[in-house]
Amino acid sequence: QVQLVESGGGLVQPGGSLKLSCAASGFIFSNYVMTWYRQAPGKERELVAAITTAGGRINYIESLKGRFTVSRDNAKNTVYLQMNSLKPEDTAVYYCNAYHPSMPHNKYWGQGTQVTVSS
């Protein structure tokens, strides 16, 4: 069955970096758009970044441009989110998500990984 397993979260000081990974299985990874969402305490889940099947990157939050980079390794069935210059407001649970371009409303979700930015 489809599985998305995030890892790489943790506690980091402001200004630090983390690299999140999301390992996928159960579907043809290279055919799926991969996205990262996050949900901060008391807030709605928001779309952070996406990477298309062709490797095109889209950042959806203006304040994250230049700090967060999404990438994928189709040979490893893994999508990454490199997060630099982290700020306390980046604290959230980060989720990866997969969908086939022909069925954008049929999304698969991982369980999430906690990122806490604090001194």
The per-residue pLDDT string of the chain (119 residues; one tens digit each, 9 = 90 and over) reads: 999 999 999 999 999 999 999 999 999 999 999 999 999 999 999 999 999 999 888 888 888 888 999 999 999 999 999 999 999 999 999 999 999 999 888 899 999 999 999 99
Give per-residue pLDDT as tens, 55-86.
888 888 888 888 999 999 999 999 999 999 99
Rounded Cα distance between 25 and 8, Å, is 18
What count of other Cβ atoms lies within 10 Å of the Cβ of residue 80?
20
| Residue 91 confidence (pLDDT) | 97
User: Quick one: 65 exposed, middle or buried, by C-beta within 10 A (0-12, 13-18, 19+)?
Assistant: exposed
Check if the beta carbon of residue 83 is closer than 8 Å to that of residue 75.
no
Token duo for residue 32: 């799926």
